[in-house]
Amino acid sequence: MSIWRKTEQRALPQNIDPYGISARPYYANYSGEIVNEVNVFASSAILSAVSLLADSIASMPIDITQRKANQIARLPVPSVFQYPNDKQNMFEFMHQTMTTLAIHGNAYIYAPRGKNGLPVEMQNIHPKAVKGLVQTDTGAMVYQIGKQQFAKEDIKAIHWIVLAGQETGVSPIEALRNTIGTGLAMERFLAQFYGEGATPSSILETDGAITPEQAQQIAQNWEQAHYKHRRPAVLQGGLKWRSITTSAADMQMLEHKESIIRDIARVYRIPLHLIIGTGGDTQTYTNLEGTGAAFYKYTLLGWVRRLETAFSEFLPANQQMRFDATEFLRAYLMTRVQAQTMQIANGSLTPNEAREIENREPYDEGNEFVRSNSVVPVGQDAVPPSR
């Protein structure tokens, strides 16, 4: 059954402005700008934040692990986790999934199972195309996509923030309509300000009366003498030159734009320096590894856990999909290894227990506690040094 069959669509009015400039009164957005999944990327802060999250998640390698008898073994990655469908590789698919989550707060994956229990394919469905229904006779959840219905087993839903009693997550672009709309309105104002050039750079004024022809001639003479030339000006007939400066309100616009960037970075919990923002980010790190570890812990980890939990449901019960975050956790890895080495040396941790923490396969005799300094299994005599 295909979910990509086109159904009849009728265009509905979205605003009272046929040119699509004003969004009043159909959107709860006082800026008057339309904020949707398309033009939201006109905000450099949104584009930078979303692309940073999607690139970071999609760039991490994927591992498939299996737990047997309290031991973890690494398994080959199934082909569907390398090429989810005939149009995307796993990087592109995961990038699209993360982008959808960051913009809409919801992601839906069509993943019908094959005979081996694994998905035959995985494809992202636009959140607006999915409607959740509950069958009245059995109480089972089904998803309505167009005119077709799909069982919950074939559609995997991933949400960001879900309130009690709700079936869908909170959409960031819905929650931030005023903030994003204000930023878009300011960009439009600046574009018109510089594009139309409605404000002159200076004015020639006089207390005397002049005809329109005289005013035009004076302007032409001034432009010919001074356009792209820094020549001395000689004014006659009571003419005075006055420069037009930008108002204080216009000067504060850049500061307000930066406050919008800070608000967006705050929502996605992204350090300002990672999206080239200024102000309000006084946290410093001693090295690049520390920066990456903090970014992973406070920003990416929540997304990683959501995606790992969701995609692990496509695997058998004793298998799990995990992201390899080694590139972000180099500093943490060194700290953990040092702590585990101390615990192994004092006999409070076995080597295999330490390897399990790092999601690595055990080795023979690794379940034995070792002596403090000799690093041999407890109960065995230390080998005397050769002479």
Over residues 120-130, the mean pLDDT reads 94
User: Which is nearest to 155 in space by CA: 119, 116, 117?
Assistant: 119
In which element (H, E) is residue 129 found?
A: none
Task: Give Rg (Cα) of the chain.
Answer: 31
* The predicted structure's pLDDT at residue 300: 94
The answer to whether residue 139 scores a pLDDT higher than 50 is yes
* Residue 201 φ then ψ, to 5°: -75, -25
Residues 216-242 pLDDT 10s:
887 787 777 766 666 777 777 778 777
Residues β-bridged to residue 134: 141
Residues 317-362 pLDDT 10s:
889 999 988 777 765 667 778 888 888 888 888 888 888 777 778 8
Q: Edge to edge, what strands does the sheet with 130-134 contain?
A: 130-134, 141-145, 148-151
Asked whether the beta carbons of 124 and 111 are under 8 A apart, the reply is no
Structure tokens of 261?
A: 């960037």
